């Protein structure tokens, strides 16, 4: 008698910038004992590498130079016990803090719209998603990367609330005003939804969840409950 293989469970969390996707995904992965894959960090890593190697100058992205650099870029995640989370490494160098700068944030939408960049990273993400028990967040996970995900979530929140969250994250850096942060979010929303390659949209079979007035615990419990309903309580 042939034994059936355990079902691969994948949670795909998509949504707008600063909706808390990564925060929620990390918490859910830790709660369920799953692997967390931050796809947004991967696009930031490519953007950082492009900035450091002359493919982006004064905010102008040279698409041909970015494409030429792709074969030189390797990305992996390593668990950091001090943070209780995974750090991203580019060509063996830890890049967790460097990918969160304003310079990277201002260019990542443009870099992520390049077809060859998306093809490279989607292939990497699909390979990572073949592992059993994965939580992956991004902007096209449920629609393009892992279309067979067990549970697809599309997170939303009011632009003003998302700007407040982002502004609090940046507190003390003194780089941008609240109005600048809000305007940047609105601009990025427009870019993400209108790009030719894998535009941001809610998958037809995704559950849309507005986190504007919800706490982190409430969002996490809602998503875990949806997973239990979807799988009949199975967590494997």
Domains of the chain, each with CATH number or no CATH: 10-231 (3.40.50.300)
In this predicted structure, what is the pLDDT of residue 5?
A: 42
d(CA 77, CA 70): 18
Cα–Cα distance list, 174 to 105, 191, 204, 228 (Å): 15, 25, 40, 43
Which residue has tokens 């077809």? 115
Sequence-separated (6 or more) residues with CB below 8 Å from residue 233: none
Retrieve residue 203's tokens: 């998958």
In this predicted structure, what is the pLDDT of residue 3?
A: 38
Q: Count of residues for the chain?
A: 236
The reply to whether the predicted model has a pTM over 0.95 is no
In this predicted structure, what is the pLDDT of residue 7?
A: 55
The answer to whether the CB of 197 falls within 8 A of the CB of 115 is yes
Q: How many other C-beta atoms can be found within 10 angstroms of the C-beta atom of residue 207?
A: 16
The answer to whether the CB of 148 falls within 8 A of the CB of 42 is no
In this predicted structure, what is the pLDDT of residue 235?
A: 64
**Nearest in space to 8 (alpha carbons), one of 136, 186, 185, 191:** 136
What backbone torsions phi and psi does residue 137 show, to the nearest 5 degrees?
Answer: -120, 150
In this predicted structure, what is the pLDDT of residue 114?
A: 95
Digit-by-digit pLDDT tens for the chain (236 residues) are: 343 344 578 999 999 988 989 889 989 988 888 888 888 899 999 999 999 999 999 999 999 999 999 999 999 888 788 877 778 999 999 999 899 898 998 999 899 989 999 999 999 988 888 776 889 998 889 999 999 999 999 999 999 999 998 888 777 565 678 999 899 899 989 988 887 777 889 999 999 999 999 999 999 999 999 999 998 877 65
């Amino acid at each position: 008698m042939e034994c059936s293989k355990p079902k691969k469970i994948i949670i795909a969390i998509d949504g707008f910038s600063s909706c808390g996707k990564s925060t929620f995904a990390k918490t859910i992965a830790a709660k369920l004992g799953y692997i967390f894959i931050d796809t947004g960090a991967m696009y930031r890593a490519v953007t950082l590498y492009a900035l450091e190697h002359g493919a982006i100058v004064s905010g102008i992205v040279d698409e041909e130079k970015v494409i030429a650099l792709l074969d030189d870029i390797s990305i992996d995640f390593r668990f950091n016990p001090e943070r209780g989370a995974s750090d991203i490494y580019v060509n063996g160098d830890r890049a967790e803090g460097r990918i969160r700068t304003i310079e990277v944030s201002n260019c990542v939408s443009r870099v992520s719209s390049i077809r060859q960049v998306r093809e490279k990273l989607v292939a990497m993400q699909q390979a990572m998603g073949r592992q059993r028990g994965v939580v992956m967040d991004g902007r096209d996970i449920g629609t393009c990367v892992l279309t067979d995900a067990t549970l697809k979530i599309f997170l939303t929140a009011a632009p003003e609330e998302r700007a407040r969250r982002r502004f609090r994250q940046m507190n003390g850096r003194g780089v941008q005003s609240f109005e600048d942060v809000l305007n940047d979010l609105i601009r990025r929303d427009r870019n993400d939804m209108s790009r030719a390659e894998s535009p941001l949209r809610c998958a037809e079979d995704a559950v849309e969840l507005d986190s504007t007035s919800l706490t982190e615990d409430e969002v996490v419990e809602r998503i875990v409950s949806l997973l239990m309903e979807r799988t009949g309580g199975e967590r494997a």
